[in-house]
Amino acid sequence: MGGTFDPVHIAHLIMANEAYHALSLDEVRFLPNAAPPHKHISGQTTAEERCRMIQDSIVEVPYFKLDRTEILREGTSYTFDTIAHLTHQEPDTDFFFIIGGDMIESLSTWYRIDELKSLITFAGFERPGYTGDHAGDVVMIRGPVVDLSSTMLRKRLAEKQDCRFLIPEKAYRYILEEGLYES
Ligand SMILES: Nc1ncnc2c1ncn2[C@@H]1O[C@H](COP(=O)(O)OP(=O)(O)OP(=O)(O)O)[C@@H](O)[C@H]1O
Ligand SMILES: O=C(O)c1ccc[n+]([C@@H]2O[C@H](COP(=O)([O-])O)[C@@H](O)[C@H]2O)c1
């Protein structure tokens, strides 16, 4: 599951867990990007801080893993490059790429999307406002939808609003201790 995770929030964990069960996966890897291809990064955190928040949030779940492939590669994090690397390293692994339902409509614009689709199966998780009715070859996963985004959380943190229960507890504590997203 790729993302910017700036910061990670409970909807990320819910979708990862629902996908784990629905697709009978062995594990879910969180793949924070170095630079997202289709949006600007906030610039309020370093890649290491985003990794730390993910690690703090998943540490107690044995089948959740942090994968630094994109961080180590640097530059724009095209999913094709990541998956080409992973499938080359692990030719016997079947990979799914988990995305929010909102991303399905723009999949056709992704870098080398046809080749990417030949390497993995996309799994789309419902997101408020995006039903996935036109999912095509994307496997839809239905589950509890949470109307939450990192953008909303960055705004709330900047305004010093309470974000308890929206961000996993340990990551939230880290954010407050380090004063992340304060301005
Ligand atoms: N509330 C949500 N429900 C379903 N999918 C989500 C939700 N929030 C994020 N996702 C999905 O999780 C993946 C990683 O998301 P990302 O880290 O970019 O978080 P985001 O909340 O969408 O961030 P931002 O608000 O900064 O754009 C993406 O595929 C995104 O569509
Ligand atoms: O490879 C692409 O062209 C591409 C275009 C848009 C998004 N992605 C990936 O989709 C994941 C979620 O994207 P985002 O922008 O919500 O962080 C993340 O891993 C991105 O690198 C990938």
Q: What is the pLDDT along the chain (183 residues), one digit of tens a residue?
A: 999 999 999 999 999 999 999 999 999 999 999 999 999 998 999 999 999 999 999 999 999 999 999 999 989 999 999 999 999 999 999 999 999 998 998 999 999 999 999 999 999 998 887 777 777 899 999 999 899 999 999 999 999 999 999 999 999 999 999 999 997
- Give the separation between CA 183 and CA 166, rounded to whole angstroms: 19
Question: Do residues 73 and 34 touch, judged by C-beta distance below 8 A?
Answer: yes
Pocket test for ligand 1, best of 4, 31, 45, 166 (most atoms within 8 A of CB): 4
Does ipTM top 0.90? yes
Task: Specify the pTM.
Answer: 0.97
Domains of the chain: 2-149 (3.40.50.620)
Using alpha carbons, select from 52, 13, 2, 48 the residue that is nearest to residue 170: 52
Question: Residues with beta carbon inside 6 Å of ligand 2?
Answer: 2-4, 31, 33, 36-39, 77-80, 99, 110-111
